[in-house]
Amino acid sequence: MDDRAVAILGTLDTKGAEAAYLKACVTRAGQMALLIDTGVQGAALVPADIGREAVAQAGGASLKALQEAGDRGQAVTAMGKGAAAALADLHRAGRLIGVLGLGGSAGTSIAATAMQALPVGLPKLIVSTMASGDTRAYVGVKDVTLMYSVVDIAGLNRFSREVLGNAAAAMAGMAARYASREPATAEDKPLLAATMFGVTTPCVTRAREYLESQGYEALVFHATGSGGKAMEALVEDGFIDGVLDVTTTEWADELVGGVLSAGPRRLEAMGRRGVPHVVAPGALDMVNFGPPDTVPEKFADRCFYQHNPQVTLMRTTVEENRELGRIIGQKLNLAPGQVEVFLPLGGVSAIDREGQPFHDPAADAAFRESLRATLNPAIPVHEMAAHINDEAFALAMARRLDEMVRQRRVA
């Protein structure tokens, strides 16, 4: 008997009717569905397949204690953690083919927290009142689909039935595809990740072409903060065999205060997992802001380049590059046996060539000197008299990564 199901997350004390409607729609579409109650205070309006007591316990909390505390924030955190644990159990048992959540800010937060614990590829959809604004906190680095509820999720009506019915149909379709997909096999190509910006595209494109010709499958991540996080999340999850980290620009935004930071843990996942990686200072010459009027006033006297109407780039200074060298050196020291560094002496981005607006040999040299002073001497450093986008530089990085991955796979 096939007991695989779509899990439906909802606070059944406030969204019981809507959650039950979703379950009925999913069932009519041909998929089994399980209701998981993430409510805390009021009585559940409909029966749950996994009750709130079990959810709270899975999150390491007591439902009674949460009810007595009356702290909404504490309850949302605990039930999100518990729902994540409950879904992980279903996934490990091979029973989960999709997750469908609904709610306002609290219900969306619980569902999003739970979905972040699941692998990429498993269908995840949330019908939310929060889906029309800044959704970064809910999507994170996973393939979460958000559907705006249009009206508040506060009872069934002609509009909510349409939106919820569409969500259920979408999830049923995704779940059917997921359930019938072909599992990965040992013959699948080794998977590599690469980081890219528009100003490092020629390098990554040529390196990717070479690596694909050698039998790899390459995933390219746009180094926009979320891109770096997504790439390292896949490394942490064990999907990635090697990393071509050409574009480490997110660290410039993290240090200086730009809008595309990947956070202070960027460059750590490969070391923790022992994944071979080659690293270059791609686009460390720039910090990213939005339109010119969004640039903080304290930077008024800096060197800028208008990439497009929505993106303003600011050149990093000698002092900032010196600090970037120190930070990146410390990160790379986590994995002295699985990392090598490539340094282009002719510039680190398309606008850092001689004659281009961000050409600043002193700033680039400050990075290289600081990096070398910080790095573990066991980490190889390859300096090349080339620009980062030169074919010779791209192929040198790609060939070395190929060698490192093959050596690790043999070992």
pLDDT digits (tens, 9 = 90+) for 23-60: 999 999 999 999 999 999 889 999 999 999 999 999 99
Closest residue by Cα to residue 164 from 314, 317, 337, 15: 15
Q: Are both 211 and 158 inside the same structural domain?
A: no
Whether the per-residue pLDDT at 247 is higher than 70: the answer is yes
Q: Are both 64 and 197 inside the same structural domain?
A: no
Q: Are both 157 and 223 inside the same structural domain?
A: no
| Structure letter (DSSP) for residue 281 | B
pLDDT of residue 133: 78
Within-domain flag for 76 = yes
Q: Are both 111 and 208 inside the same structural domain?
A: no
Q: Are both 209 and 127 inside the same structural domain?
A: no
pLDDT of residue 411: 74
Domain range for 21 is 5-179
Neighbours of 408 (CB within 10 A): 16
Within-domain flag for 404 = yes
pLDDT of residue 182: 79
Q: Are both 303 and 394 inside the same structural domain?
A: yes
- Give the mean model confidence (pLDDT) for residues 358-386: 98
Q: What is the mean pLDDT of the chain?
A: 94
Q: Are both 142 and 216 inside the same structural domain?
A: no
Q: Are both 71 and 124 inside the same structural domain?
A: yes
pLDDT band at 187 (very low <50, low <70, confident <90, very high): low
Within-domain flag for 285 = yes
For the chain, the domain total comes to: 2
Q: Are both 195 and 144 inside the same structural domain?
A: no
pLDDT of residue 184: 62
CA max distance for the chain:
70
pLDDT of residue 230: 92
pLDDT, tens digit (0-9, with 9 covering 90-100), for 129-184:
999 878 888 888 889 999 999 999 988 999 999 999 999 999 999 999 999 987 76
Share of the chain above pLDDT 70, in %: 99
Closest residue by Cα to residue 52 from 66, 65, 33, 39: 39
Within-domain flag for 184 = no
Whether the per-residue pLDDT at 246 is higher than 70: the answer is yes
Within-domain flag for 335 = yes
